[in-house]
Amino acid sequence: MRFLVLGGTVFLSRAVAVEAAARGHEVSVAARGASGPVPDGVRHVVLDRAEEIPADLAAQEFDAVVDVARTPSWVARAVAAWPRAHWTFVSTINVYADETTPGGTPATLPLVDAQPEDVDLGRHPEAYGPMKVACEQLVRDGAERAFVVRPGLIVGPGDPTGRFTYWPARLADVEPGEPVLAGGDPSDTVQVIDVRDLAAWIVTAAETGLTGDLDGVGPATALGALLAEASAGLGVEPRWTWASDAALEVHDVAPWMGPRSLPLWLPRPAYDGMLAHDWSPSRDAGLAARPIAETGRDTLEWLRATPDAVVTGLTREQEREVLDSLA
Ligand SMILES: NC(=O)c1ccc[n+]([C@@H]2O[C@H](COP(=O)([O-])OP(=O)(O)OC[C@H]3O[C@@H](n4cnc5c(N)ncnc54)[C@H](OP(=O)(O)O)[C@@H]3O)[C@@H](O)[C@H]2O)c1
């Protein structure tokens, strides 16, 4: 098949291009060439999506298009250029208005209102979910066959956000019995998907002509179990020290990501549903999720080979401050 990946030089869209090429498809990636290297065996088409699609590119036929954009006008132009291809639009679980109800699926969760005009996400990050809602609808309206996939937290080698990467980085050199800070309660539910599993599903979706709206999430798991599995995969045995939401807030620890944050920690009950979707509709539609132990090991290997990789979260000193206060 002839694949066009709009993006293709970073994390998920790159993994899709790599997977499609590995399966013997003819793959083109269309990007400016600013964010990262083009995968081997893939054709690079220079495209700035802030501008019109050049006529010679629009005239080319593709069997499958995969788009990761956040900006409605970019998606509108691309769907108009290739309406007959199988379209995969990579959206996000941030399209959902309900982040508290566990067990949600695309069939049960309400959406936020669409933001159909382009908004600068640097200045208005809250427009991310609403613009994705608008992009999804442009694809459903404009493409003959549309697959909308809404990922939750994507993890694994190549992650530019450094969120899950915090954990393999933190656990890499833990001494037996060394205290390691975890946030919230071990029974809090979390959910991740390995970038390679999501990419494989997206390529299969194009091959089989899958359509409809599905979440790109792995099985919901207790945070304590996920961290235990990740540490077992790295062959380490930390002494987990759990700080409650209140204790972390007192120490100005931020949830989720960023400076002084504890990745994978989300305050409850406000975020009880965000990483607790029912993944069975996606699993039944072919999504497979590898063990977190493997994702953790491979992420650490990538991190060690990539000195400029981003890792977000607490520094060791900041972690020590919180641990000392709990002792
Ligand atoms: N990470 C997560 O946990 C998470 C969770 C939920 C959903 N998602 C969704 O998953 C997708 C992730 O996609 P991704 O990993 O491939 O990263 P991305 O940051 O969404 O996309 C990066 C790609 O877009 C290209 N690009 C950026 N600006 C461009 C422009 N003006 N013209 C042409 N191409 C442009 C980049 O290449 P150039 O810069 O070289 O042009 C690069 O190839 C996104 O749809 C995101 O919303 C992610």
Boundaries of domain holding 257: 166-190+221-271+291-326
Q: Do both 238 and 100 map to the same domain? A: no
Residues 132 and 225 in one domain: no
Task: Note whether 139 and 177 are same-domain residues.
Answer: no
174 and 110 housed in the same domain: no
* Residue 3: C-alpha distances to residues 52, 81, 224, 316 (Å): 20, 14, 40, 44
Is 310 a pocket residue for ligand 1 (Cβ < 6 Å)? no
Domain termination site, one of 151, 179, 209 = 151
Using a 10 angstrom Cβ sphere, with 0-12 exposed, 13-18 middle and 19 or more buried, the burial of residue 317 is exposed
Dihedral pair phi/psi, residue 102, rounded to 5°: -70, 160
Is 76 a domain residue? yes
Shared domain for 15 and 107, answered yes or no, is yes
Rounded Cα distance, 18 and 145, in Å:
23
- Shared domain for 182 and 104, answered yes or no, is no
DSSP character string of 227-254: HHHHHHHHT---EEEEE-HHHHHHTTPE
Q: Does one domain contain both 176 and 322? A: yes
Q: How far is the CA of 31 from the centre of ligand 1 (A)?
A: 10
Q: Are 157 and 298 in contact (CB under 8 A)?
A: yes
Q: Indicate the number of domains in the chain.
A: 2
Q: CB of 37 within 8 A of CB of 9?
A: yes
Select from 4, 10, 275 the residue to mutate for testing ligand 1; criterion: most ligand atoms less than 8 Å from CB. 10
Instruction: Spell out the per-residue pLDDT of the chain, length 327, in tens.
Output: 999 999 999 999 999 999 999 999 999 999 999 999 999 999 999 999 999 999 999 999 999 999 999 999 999 999 999 999 999 999 999 999 999 999 999 999 999 999 999 999 999 999 999 999 999 999 999 999 999 999 999 999 999 999 999 999 999 989 999 999 999 999 999 999 999 999 999 999 999 999 999 999 999 999 999 999 999 999 999 999 999 999 999 999 999 999 999 999 999 999 999 999 999 999 999 999 999 999 999 999 999 999 899 999 999 999 999 999 998
The per-residue b/e assignment along 9-33, b for 16 or more CB within 10 angstroms, e otherwise, is bbbbbbbbbbbbbeeebebbbbbee
